[in-house]
Amino acid sequence: MSTPPPPPSSRPSSRPSSRQAPAAAPRPTGPPLRLPAAPDPRGARAFAGVAEAFERGRPGYAEAALRWVAPGERLQVLDVGAGTGKLSRGLLSLGHAVTAVEPVPEMLEQLREAVPRAHPVRARAESIPVVSRSVDVVLAADSFQWFEAGAFLAEATRVLRPGGVLALLWNQPDVRVPWVRRLARLLGDDHLLTEPVEERLPLAAVDDTGQFESVEQGAFRLWQRLRKAELRDLVASRPDVVARGPVAVDRLLVEVDELFADAAAGSELSMPLVTHAFRAAVLPWAYVGAPRLGRGSRAAAPSAPTGVPPTSAEDAPEAPDPQDDGAPAVGTADPADDTDGPEPVGS
C-alpha cells in the first residue's frame, strides 16, 4: 500500500476566542439539587449491555481539543454523559478536577474502575445534582444527541460560573482512508462519505437558547491504535449494531476480521480520527433558569459515528509514528491537589 501524504495540522476551523477560562468563584451557599431517584434517559439504556466493549474499544479525545475547550489550569469540569470515562481521563491528565455524570450503572461501574480520580455521579444530563454557578466548563462528548436539549442546556446555564464554557465534542473516523471507508460501509455509515459534519450535529439548539455567545468550532487530529480484538469491540460497542441481532452481528464481525487481515500491517491498525469540538461561553447576563428553547425539546441525533467531509484520497492522513499515536495521555492529577470540586449531592 502506498503511503499517503501527511495530514494538515490540527487547528480550529474558526478563529478561537481570546477569552481565558474564568477565575474560580465562591460556591453558592444555597441548597443543592436533589439527586433524581431513577435516572433513565431515552436511549441510554441501550449502552448497558455494551459497557465492557465500550471501555475496551472506544477511543479517547484529542488532547489539543481538550486544551482548546478547557483553556486554563485546575478548572472545575463537568463531564456529562461520561460513559466509561474516555473524556474524564484526558481532562484529569491535564490537571483539571472532573465530576463525571452518567446515568447508566454499567457504564458508571466501568468509569469507577478505569478513572478512580474522577468524581462519579449517577444522574441524568437534564437534572444535574451540582450547585449552581460552581463549574468552569460543562462538556458533553459523543453524548449530546441522547439528551433532551432544552433541559440539558438549562442545567448547563445554571451550573456554569459567569463566563464559563459549554463544550460539545464528537469523534469521527476519517473516511478518506480506504480501510476506514470500507468499515464505514460495513456499519451502514455511508452518509459519512458525503455529508459535512456540521449538517448532522444539533448545534442550533445552543444558539436558540440566547444564553451563550456564538458557537466556535475546531477540528483536531487523533490516532487510535487497534488490535483485532479492539476493533471488534469498537464495532460491538454500538447499540445500533447490537440491535441487528446475534446472527447478523456474528456475520458482521467475520467481515470486520477480514478487513483487519487485509489492512493491518502486523498486529495493529492505526485508525485516523478527527475530534470535532464546539464551544460557547455563557453570556454575562444569562439567567439561572430554563433557556428559551422548550424543556421538552430533544436534540436531533447525528448518525454515530459522525463524519469528516471527504476529500480526495491524496489528502488522506499519513500513518503516525509508531512511538506517537497522538492520543491524549492517560493519567491523574497530583494526589496532593486540594482543589475544591463542584458540590454534587449523590452518586
CATH number of domain containing 88: 3.40.50.150
In-domain check, residue 254:
no
Q: Quick one: DSSP state of residue 323?
A: T
- The stretch 38-67 carries a mean pLDDT of 81
**CA-to-CA dists, residue 33 to 50, 98, 193, 298, angstroms:** 30, 19, 44, 22
pLDDT > 70 in the chain, percent? 69
In-domain check, residue 12:
no
Select, from the ranges 31-35, 119-123, 298-302, the one with the highest average predicted confidence (pLDDT). 119-123
Q: Name which residue leads in pLDDT, 330 or 159.
A: 159
- In the predicted structure, residue 187 carries a pLDDT above the cut 70: yes
How far apart are alpha carbons 316 and 222 in whole angstroms?
13
Q: Write the DSSP assignment of 5-48 as a string of letters.
A: PPPPPPEESSPPP-PPPPPP-PPP-SPPPPPPSS---TTGGGGG
pLDDT > 90 in the chain, percent? 58
In-domain check, residue 1:
no
In-domain check, residue 331:
no
Domain with 166, as residue range(s), is 33-173+194-223+273-311
In-domain check, residue 15:
no
- In the predicted structure, residue 329 carries a pLDDT above the cut 70: no
In-domain check, residue 341:
no
pLDDT in the model for residue 43: 58
Nearest to residue 142, comparing CAs of 70, 239, 244? 239
The angle at the Cα of 154, spanning 100 to 150, to the nearest 5 degrees, equals 100
Strand 119-121, strand 97-101: pairing: parallel
Q: What is the dihedral of CA 294, 203, 201, 140, to 10 degrees?
A: -90
In-domain check, residue 261:
no
In-domain check, residue 37:
yes
SS3 183: helix
pLDDT in the model for residue 23: 36
pLDDT in the model for residue 240: 86
- In the predicted structure, residue 124 carries a pLDDT above the cut 60: yes
Q: Is the peptide bond before 6 cis (omega within 30 degrees of 0)?
A: no
Total tally of structural domains belonging to the chain? 1
Contact 269, 172 (CB under 8 A): no
Q: How confident is the model at residue 278 (pLDDT cuts 50, 70, 90)?
A: very high
